[in-house]
Amino acid sequence: MSMFKNILGQDHALQILHSAIEHDRVSQAYLFHGPEGVGKFTTALYFGMALNCLAKSEFRPCGVCNSCRRLLNLDHPDFIYLFPTLNLRMTDEGEIRDNLDSYEAYIQNKKDTPWLQYHFNRATEIRRESVAFLIKRLSLSIFDANYRICLIENADMMNIQTSNAFLKILEEPPAKTVMLLTTSRLSSLLPTILSRCQPIYFRPLSQSVTESLLRNKLEYDEPTARAAARIGSGNFKTAVQVAEGSSQGLRDLAFQIMELAMGDKELDFVNLIDSLKDQLNAESVKNLLSYMGFLVNDIAVLRSNPEEITNIDKLDELKKLARDDDIFIEDVLKFLGLLEDFQRKIAGKVNLRLLMMNCFYALKDLYRSA
């Protein structure tokens, strides 16, 4: 069975790629664009595998032939992989002098758990030295593949100098070489690069597809997968982060904070947050706020649309939080708007303890209006 079957929710993109292979009309450069966490990298890798797969056409990429296995392991001699990195200070021969550990850790993460976000400890970009190395590699003969594959992940992370250097490759591409670029920020690429690539759009994943992947691929339970799929909003990587947060107790923490706000127990909340100061970072707080948002939404729709509830396994707790009086929808919307504002502030390195205090006060105000 073709490994393309593993890619869900991107039928239109796969149809274009299947047609290119079937009719032997493979473009020299493709640009896979769309939101983060929707399968652009995996599809690009599988497309490169399919172009070089040794199996019969209907089974390509098979994932088991020597060519497929080497591409899956990101070590095929005719595969070149560029991505945003720290300054590697590469030699002309491609030897990495600095930050080799983080470079190798990123690649290992891509091979083992590509659905998890790898975080460098400093700002990254695709540097001119990497493109210089690419140019040198492209000057060599193809080793044994039908097509040499060059995958440039997050191509929008090239600065102007790097982009101009790469543009020269696109203007005179080597024969039997396919460039596969991915980006979630189409407007950040040079128009001249866009004009030389065949664009293929990747749409946000549906909630059902995301939930299915979480349950069947990563074996999360149904309530966790359902909540994470809704919070992920079409981004599988975000959904995985949320599911991980749930397994680490963030969803239960959101319920606990709601109960403290409902009971006006400010001191207990302060003690709780202080006890968790070593566990709460920007990412975990962001996920915690997402859980709070869906929790409040569940309470708001509990009586009118119970089938829309995200935390279906927490129905008894929701009924306790809902109280007897109705929560006005405009107050709920106001609170959800505040949560969105808090989420944006996290990116600006806000004081997380102060942000959580403000969130608690907003929850108290919400219950006072109920």
* CATH code, domain with 105: 3.40.50.300
* Last residue in a domain, options 175, 203, 231: 203
Nearest to 90 by CA among 131, 141, 125: 131
Q: Is 47 part of any domain?
A: yes
Structure pTM?
A: 0.78
Q: Is 268 part of any domain?
A: yes
What the block records as the tokens of 206 is 């549906």
- Judge if 196 and 259 occupy the same domain: no
The secondary structure element, H or E, covering residue 199 is strand 198-201
- Judge if 22 and 77 occupy the same domain: yes
The secondary structure element, H or E, covering residue 148 is strand 148-152
pLDDT string in tens for the chain (370-residue length): 689 999 999 999 999 999 999 999 999 999 999 999 999 999 999 999 999 999 988 889 999 999 999 999 999 999 999 999 999 998 877 889 999 999 999 999 999 998 888 888 788 999 999 999 999 999 999 998 999 999 999 999 998 999 999 999 999 889 999 999 999 999 999 999 999 999 999 999 999 999 999 999 999 988 888 888 887 888 898 888 878 877 668 888 988 998 899 888 999 999 999 998 888 888 889 888 888 888 888 888 777 777 777 777 777 878 777 655 555 667 888 888 899 899 888 877 789 999 999 999 998 888 775 5
- Judge if 185 and 274 occupy the same domain: no
Nearest to 261 by CA among 132, 101, 370: 370
Enumerate residues 6+ apart whose C-beta is below 8 A from 139. Answer: none
- Judge if 92 and 176 occupy the same domain: yes
* Sign of torsion over alpha carbons 139, 145, 147, 148: negative
Separation CA 38–CA 205 (nearest Å): 6
Nearest to 299 by CA among 316, 279, 281, 282: 316
Between helices 352-368 and 282-301, what is the axis angle to 10°? 10
Q: Is 210 part of any domain?
A: no
Query: Total structural domains in the chain?
Result: 2
- Judge if 55 and 193 occupy the same domain: yes
Q: Is 355 part of any domain?
A: yes
Enumerate residues 6+ apart whose C-beta is below 8 A from 105. Answer: 118
Q: Is 70 part of any domain?
A: yes
- Judge if 136 and 252 occupy the same domain: no
Q: Is 224 part of any domain?
A: no
Q: Is 330 part of any domain?
A: yes
- Judge if 191 and 267 occupy the same domain: no
**Domain harbouring 279, CATH code:** 1.20.272.10
* Last residue in a domain, options 139, 170, 203: 203
- Judge if 12 and 149 occupy the same domain: yes
β-strand pairing of 29-33 with 177-183: parallel
Q: Is 223 part of any domain?
A: no
- Judge if 286 and 158 occupy the same domain: no
Domain that includes residue 130, residue range: 3-203
- Judge if 184 and 43 occupy the same domain: yes
